[in-house]
């Protein structure tokens, strides 16, 4: 299993604070069946700035440490960038880091709203050759209140990633229900942990995928599993779009 969103690098954001914290997270990831994990530290969120060059250095150091400790986990580079008006400039100057240096790039919204310039920024990123992925949309208040806005992003080529802990109810019933609605209506394309530690913000990956398989069947389960591999291989991700999904989506969006 591949986990495409984590805060496993030590001491650079609100995730692991020490190398031992990182190692404990790595051991826990392995216990959850994870073989590769993408380190996606916060960037440009008003508190943390983690540019591409520093992330690459930290990832290399942590991989060396994992080999020394005989922990069978590979850490890949990534970045969780808060949406901002300088993203194209920062992409051009090498400050932004795509997921495993692929075409895919994580974009985080503020928790309470969606900036008005978001549609234009997503368009500009796609023109620049990137494939934007909105991380944890299920925890954004404006998207919860107006899911049609998320649908418009997806319709225009943007992907989304839901948090495993949201799927299993760790963030409360409302967020769990919204997460399941996004899965059921094919408005998300990836499940990831967004793990920050092994206690309050853990992995929940095996639990979430088990629930998805039981609720939505093997096709959804395998699609979401495979999409993470396709992402890190810089391949196009899969979609499932049977007619019943379209009907459920229309109902969810209030289109009939």
Query: Which residues fall within 8 angstroms of residue 43, CB to CB, at 6 or more apart?
Result: 49, 50, 51, 79, 80, 81, 82, 96
pLDDT at site 243: 54
Helices (H) and strands (E) in the chain, counts: 11, 9
| DSSP of 49-114 | ---HHHHHHHHHHHHHHHHHTT---EEEE--EEEP-TTHHHHHHTT----GGGSSEEEEE--SS--
Global confidence as pTM? 0.94
pLDDT at site 244: 55
In degrees rounded to 5, what are phi and psi of residue 106?
A: -80, 140
Q: Which two tokens stand for residue 196?
A: 């920050």
Long-range own/partner contacts, residues 233-236 (CB < 8 A, 24 or more apart) = 233/102, 234/100, 234/102, 234/103, 234/104
Closest CA to 78 of 47, 41, 114: 41
For residues 74 and 179, give the distance between their C-alpha atoms in angstroms, rounded to a whole number.
Answer: 28
List, in order of start, the domains of the chain with CATH numbers.
2-253 (3.20.20.140)
For residues 235 and 90, give the distance between their C-alpha atoms in angstroms, rounded to a whole number.
Answer: 24
- Residue at token pair 């853990």: 202
Query: Which residues fall within 8 angstroms of residue 74, CB to CB, at 6 or more apart?
Result: 35, 36, 37, 63, 66
- Calculate helix-pair angle for 205-216, 173-184, nearest 10 degrees: 50
Tens place of pLDDT per residue across the chain (256 aa): 999 999 999 999 999 999 999 999 999 999 999 999 999 999 999 999 999 999 999 999 999 999 999 999 999 999 999 999 999 999 999 999 999 999 999 999 999 999 999 999 999 999 999 999 999 999 999 999 999 999 999 999 999 999 999 999 999 999 999 999 999 999 999 999 999 999 999 999 999 999 999 999 998 899 999 999 999 999 999 877 655 566 666 677 765 4
Kindly report the number of other CB atoms within 10 A of residue 86's CB atom. Answer: 11
For residues 216 and 208, give the distance between their C-alpha atoms in angstroms, rounded to a whole number.
Answer: 12
């Amino acid at each position: 299993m591949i986990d495409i969103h984590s805060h496993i690098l030590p001491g650079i954001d609100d995730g692991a604070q020490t190398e031992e914290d990182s190692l404990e997270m790595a051991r826990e990831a392995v216990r959850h069946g994870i073989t590769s994990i993408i380190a996606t530290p916060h960037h440009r969120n008003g508190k943390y700035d983690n540019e591409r060059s520093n992330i690459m250095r930290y990832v290399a150091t942590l991989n060396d440490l994992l080999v020394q400790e005989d922990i069978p986990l590979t850490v890949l580079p990534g970045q969780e960038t808060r949406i901002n008006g300088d993203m194209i400039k920062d992409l051009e100057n090498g400050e932004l880091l795509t997921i495993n240096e692929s075409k895919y790039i994580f974009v985080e919204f503020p928790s309470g709203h969606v900036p008005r310039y978001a549609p234009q920024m997503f368009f500009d990123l796609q023109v620049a050759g990137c494939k934007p992925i909105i991380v944890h949309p299920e925890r954004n208040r404006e998207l919860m209140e107006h899911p049609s806005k998320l649908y418009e992003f997806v319709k225009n080529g943007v992907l989304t990633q839901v948090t495993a802990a949201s799927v299993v109810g760790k963030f409360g019933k409302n967020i769990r229900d919204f997460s399941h609605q996004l899965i059921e209506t094919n408005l998300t394309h990836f499940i990831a942990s967004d793990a920050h530690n092994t206690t309050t913000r853990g992995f929940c990956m095996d639990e979430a995928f088990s629930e998805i398989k039981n609720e939505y069947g093997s096709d959804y389960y395998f699609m979401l599993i495979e999409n993470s591999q396709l992402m890190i291989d810089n391949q196009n991700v899969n979609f499932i779009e049977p007619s019943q999904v379209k009907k459920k989506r229309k109902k969810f969006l209030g289109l009939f």
